[in-house]
Amino acid sequence: MSLRRVATLPQDGPGTVRVPLVGPAVCAGFPSPADDFLEGALELPRWLVPNPPATFLMQVRGESMRGAGIFDRDLACVDRSLLPQHDSVVVAVVDALLSCKRYRIEGNTPRLAFDNPDLPAFAVDEASEVEIWGVVRFTIRWHVARGRLA
């Protein structure tokens, strides 16, 4: 087994890039992270963000994706340049509600699903207005309590 230090991983260009953090706004047909919805930015290593202009971060709320290892208050890094494949985790706008779901293809029909067996199935009927907003590349999660500092 060979381990590589993060410092020796390949990089394309500068060492870090600024990735916008999109606020909790929900808007129908939200085409891209507009400045009105930005809450700031995080600097991330360039090798984590291959397409910075198409990438943003957003905070996940709820437990609907815990089967994918995505939990309440995690930060999802979403890339709008990627096309969803079967089993991708995506951010979608469903009837004007922004949501993180599992993208599944059953036969020739794309579907969105929760990744939590405790939640009921999520059906997207043909009357629903759905837009895939981007594919989740990775998430960032705190592994320590986020309460007050001692």
Identify the H or E element spanning 134. Answer: strand 130-140
Residue 127's pLDDT is 59
Q: Is 101 a catalytic residue?
A: yes
- Choice among 64, 81, 99, 128 that is catalytic: 64
Residue 2 — very low, low, confident or very high, per pLDDT cuts 50/70/90? low
Model confidence pLDDT, tens digit, residues 90-130: 998 887 778 899 998 888 888 888 888 887 766 666 657 88
Is pTM beyond 0.85 here? no
Residue 32 — very low, low, confident or very high, per pLDDT cuts 50/70/90? very low
Q: Is 128 a catalytic residue?
A: no
* Residues in CB range of 136: below 8 A, 6 or more apart: 70, 76, 77, 78, 88, 89, 90, 91, 100
Read off the pLDDT of each residue in 8-26 and give the average, rounded to a whole number. Answer: 67
Residue 3's pLDDT is 55
- Choice among 2, 32, 101, 128 that is catalytic: 101
The percentage of residues in the chain with a pLDDT greater than 90, rounded to a whole number, is: 28
Residue 136's pLDDT is 95
Cβ neighbour number for residue 146 with a 10 Å cutoff = 6
How buried is residue 104: exposed, middle or buried, by Cβ count under 10 Å (0-12/13-18/19+)?
middle
Radius of gyration of the chain, Cα coordinates, nearest whole angstrom? 17
